[in-house]
Amino acid sequence: MNIKNILLIEDDLRDVEMTLAALEEQNLANRVFVVHDGAAALDYLYKRGAFKARTTGNPILVLLDNKMPKVSGLEVLKIMKEDERLKTIPVVALTSSREAPDLIQFYSHGVNAYVVKPVDFSDFMKAVREVGIFWAAVNEPPLAACEVEPGIQDGEAIIAGKKEV
């Protein structure tokens, strides 16, 4: 069986570092795979481009920032939740915004949880730790359904469309 990976999609390296520091405390950090924008995240999920050779299975959890270059977190979420093979992967939005329209959009596209990054460090650490513990240890994801064969085109087609806009 594959290692239970966590995919962290976060463009801000400082947030990455802080998030990893928080997950480190739970010994989860070594299982985190980080990509820095939505496009790379989709490449990873669909095993294409730089991730064509990915041998590990699909993540058991996706931690998703919203405001990112190229493809936003919300767009990644939409693609995942519309794809039968990816929609069962739990996605937790981990963002700076607590604006109501963002929350409504994420939830209406099927996000599994929405966590606002607290400014206070200890609050931040606590929040990320709890997310890690719950989703990586407590929660039981449907692993068998998470595998995706390489070379799937539909995700890429949608991204190409987005780029043109």
Partner 1 sequence: MAETSGESLARDESNIEQNKDSQTTRNGLLIAQIVSRTEQAETRTEQAETRTEQAKTRTEQAETRLEQAETRTELAETRTEQAETRTERAETRTEQAEARMERSEEAIRESELNYRRLFEAARDGILILDADTGRVTDVNPFLVNLLGYPENEIVGKTVGELSPFKDLVSNQTMWERLQRDGYARYENQPLETRDGRAIVVEFVSNVYRAGEKKAIQCNIRDLTERRRSEARLNASFREIGVLKSALDEHLDSIRLAAIVESSQDAIIGKDLEGVVTSWNKSAEKIFGYTAAEMKGTSLMRLIPSEFRGEEVQILAKVKRGEKIEHYDTVRLTKDGRRIDISVTLSPIKDIAGNVVGVSKIARDITELKAAEKLRELNIGLEQSVAERTEQLQAVNQELEAFSYSVSHDLRAPLRHLVGFVAMLHQDAGPTLSEKSLRYLETISQSARRMGKLIDDLLAFSRTGRAGVKKSEVNLDLLIPEIVADLSGDISGRKINWIIHPLPVLWADRALLRQVLINLISNSVKFTGGRTEATIEIGPIPGGDNENVTFIRDNGAGFDPRYAGKLFGVFQRLHSETEFEGTGIGLANVERIIKRHGGRVWAEGAVDVGATFFFSIPKHEGAIINGG
Rounded to 10 degrees, what is the CA torsion of 110, 14, 34, 160? 60
- What is the distance between the alpha carbons of residues 57 and 75, in angstroms, rounded to a whole number? 22
| H helix intervals, the chain | 13-24, 38-45, 73-82, 100-108, 121-132, 154-164
- What is the distance between the alpha carbons of residues 149 and 152, in angstroms, rounded to a whole number? 7
Candidate list 99, 139, 147, 163; residue touching partner 1; CB under 8 A? 99
Candidate list 36, 48, 54, 117; residue touching partner 1; CB under 8 A? 117
When asked if residue 120 is in the footprint of partner 1 (CB under 8 A), the reply is yes
When asked if residue 75 is in the footprint of partner 1 (CB under 8 A), the reply is no
Task: Specify whether the CB–CB gap between 57 and 148 falls below 8 A.
Answer: no
| Closer by beta carbon to partner 1, 71 or else 86 | 71
| Closer by beta carbon to partner 1, 67 or else 87 | 67
When asked if residue 12 is in the footprint of partner 1 (CB under 8 A), the reply is yes
> Residue 137 in 3-state DSSP?
helix
When asked if residue 97 is in the footprint of partner 1 (CB under 8 A), the reply is yes
When asked if residue 122 is in the footprint of partner 1 (CB under 8 A), the reply is yes
Min dist. Cβ of residue 64 to partner 1 (A): 14
- By CB under 8 A, name the binding residues for partner 1: 12, 14-15, 18, 21, 66-67, 95-99, 117-122, 124
